[in-house]
């Protein structure tokens, strides 16, 4: 949610920011709604003040035993006009909020302009890509091992689901444990177990609603399945005033994520790269405004550390304006090298949302010895996508015979198993 005062003061800067995202100017529309709202509010308030004064006068007269019938009739007479003005103000306010609710966050200054993922900027690359001859795709390796079964999953649920079995299923669990342990022990995140069914308020707070309802699975109770634990974790501070000394809050959770991705049909249909359901270890930080940039680097480093420990080559991309998510003002994507595809593929996305989500959630902080409150900043990042990490391990650690070597750091989580084979 944008600060309407900011738009009033610098409408041009607002439109420039939208233009950088490839979106049309909105400030004129917004400001028209805003002034219509303010006008009707002011008129209503004048009338309310008059009513309040007269009613107080009635009270005074009655206490003194007088007759206030005339005054009471006066207030009755203004009721219709007052109700109409209040309704008008409410209509305008709702229209303004509806318009603001679907406008994405503005990009930070350092974000490069661009149209799509081709315009993203490579910040750094890590690790030597091994030369694997005739590298196979995970969707060939897995079924050949008899431990990755798309047919059975299709029987249960349809396309874009998978069943893992045996050591591959265990590997998925091992990856999650390793990630959680690293983030809690090395980076100070607090492990959380959270609801994966959430209400519409929570989804509005993170920016998933109202605009992206079609990407979500809805339950018949009014709940939605989370598309990411970012929703659950970030909303910890929904409608909350956090004392400054409790910041930064660093939270992590391992959850399934559910995405209907109606618009993405046809992309990455093979294998388990793009599924309706997948596991992810999520990182969320709540910070004071001045700390969010540094926290963003710290969080990205935490995510990269996982790949370094797993010894999987990756590159870190600063997303261009055209490729950033709705709520973000600056995003790093971490892309792992997949030998089977001979491509880098996204395995994590770390975003600084500034105060955008905080405004939607009404999440604030109170400074020591200071009056008033400020909006917190929120950040979220994958630390990492577990399914895609499984893919990256399979493809980078594959052996000519189709077996998979277990990365050294995961062996303790696999009961000492060194190799996965059929």
Active site residues: 259, 274, 346, 349, 388
Radius of gyration of the chain (CA): 27
Please tell me the distance from the alpha carbon of residue 149 to that of residue 21, in angstroms, as a whole number: 40
Residue 62 found at the interface with RNA (CB under 7 A):
yes
Residue 241 found at the interface with RNA (CB under 7 A):
yes
Please tell me the distance from the alpha carbon of residue 116 to that of residue 118, in angstroms, as a whole number: 5
- What is each CA distance from 12 to 25, 81, 82, in whole angstroms? 9, 37, 36
> Which residues, 166 to 225, sit near RNA by CB under 7 A?
none
Q: Which of 65, 156, 214, 371 binds RNA (CB under 7 A)?
A: 371
SS3 state at 119: helix
Residue 51 found at the interface with RNA (CB under 7 A):
yes
Q: Which of 1, 30, 41, 198 binds RNA (CB under 7 A)?
A: 41
> Which residues, 94 to 123, sit near RNA by CB under 7 A?
none
Residue 341 found at the interface with RNA (CB under 7 A):
no
Q: Which of 9, 45, 121, 219 binds RNA (CB under 7 A)?
A: 45
**What is the nearest approach in angstroms of RNA to the Cβ of residue 96?**
11
Residue 65 found at the interface with RNA (CB under 7 A):
no
**What is the nearest approach in angstroms of RNA to the Cβ of residue 267?**
37
Q: Which stretch binds RNA (CB under 7 A): 69-77, 176-184, 247-255, 280-288?
A: 69-77
Residue listed under structure tokens 């409408």: 11
How many Cβ atoms sit within 10 Å of the Cβ of residue 371? 6
**Apex CA 404: angle with CA 401 and CA 409, to 5°?**
150
Residue listed under structure tokens 């000394």: 245
Nearer to RNA, 53 or 123 (CB): 53
Residues whose CB is less than 8 angstroms from the CB of residue 2 and which lie 6 or more positions away in sequence, other chains included: 14, 100, 103, 105, 106, 356, 359
Residue 372 found at the interface with RNA (CB under 7 A):
yes
Residue 79 found at the interface with RNA (CB under 7 A):
yes
**Apex CA 213: angle with CA 195 and CA 108, to 5°?**
90
Binding site for RNA (CB under 7 A): 4-5, 38, 41-42, 44-46, 48-49, 51-56, 58-60, 62-63, 68, 72, 75-76, 79, 241, 364, 366, 369, 371-373
């Amino acid at each position: 949610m944008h600060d309407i005062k900011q738009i009033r003061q610098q409408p041009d800067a607002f439109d420039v920011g939208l233009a950088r995202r490839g979106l049309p100017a909105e400030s004129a529309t917004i400001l028209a709604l805003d002034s219509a709202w303010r006008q009707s509010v002011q008129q209503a308030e004048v009338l309310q003040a008059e009513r309040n004064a007269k009613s107080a006068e009635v009270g005074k007269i009655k206490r003194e035993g007088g007759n206030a019938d005339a005054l009471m009739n006066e207030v009755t007479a203004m009721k219709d006009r007052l109700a109409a003005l209040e309704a008008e103000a409410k209509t305008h306010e709702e229209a303004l909020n509806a318009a603001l609710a679907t406008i994405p966050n503005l990009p930070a200054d350092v974000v490069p302009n661009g149209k799509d993922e081709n315009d993203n900027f490579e910040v750094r690359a890590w690790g030597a890509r091994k030369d694997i001859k005739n590298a196979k795709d995970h969707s060939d390796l897995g079924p050949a091992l008899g431990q990755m079964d798309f047919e059975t999953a299709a029987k249960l649920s349809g396309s874009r689901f998978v069943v893992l079995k045996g050591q591959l299923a265990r590997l998925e669990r091992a990856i999650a444990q390793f990630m959680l342990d690293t983030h809690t022990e090395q980076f100070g995140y607090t492990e959380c177990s959270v609801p994966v069914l959430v209400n519409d308020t929570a989804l509005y707070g993170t920016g998933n609603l109202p605009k992206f309802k079609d990407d979500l699975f809805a339950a018949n109770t009014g709940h939605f399945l989370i598309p990411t634990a970012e929703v659950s974790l970030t909303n910890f501070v929904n409608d909350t005033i956090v004392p400054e000394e409790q910041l930064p809050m660093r939270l992590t959770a391992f959850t399934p994520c559910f995405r209907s991705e109606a618009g993405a049909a046809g992309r990455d249909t093979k294998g388990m790269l793009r599924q309706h359901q997948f596991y992810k270890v999520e990182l969320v930080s709540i910070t004071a405004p001045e700390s969010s940039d540094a926290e963003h680097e710290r969080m990205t480093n935490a995510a990269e550390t996982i790949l370094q420990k797993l010894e999987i080559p990756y590159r870190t991309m600063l997303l261009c304006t055209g490729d950033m998510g709705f709520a973000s003002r600056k995003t790093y994507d971490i892309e792992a090298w997949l030998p089977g595809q001979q491509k880098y593929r996204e395995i994590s996305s770390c975003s600084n949302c500034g105060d955008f989500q905080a405004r939607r959630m009404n999440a604030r902080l109170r400074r020591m010895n200071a009056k008033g409150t400020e909006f917190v900043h929120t950040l979220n990042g994958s630390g990492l996508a577990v399914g895609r990490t499984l893919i990256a391990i399979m493809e980078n650690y594959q052996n000519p015979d189709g077996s998979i070597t277990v990365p050294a750091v995961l062996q303790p989580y696999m009961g000492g198993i060194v190799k996965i084979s059929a």
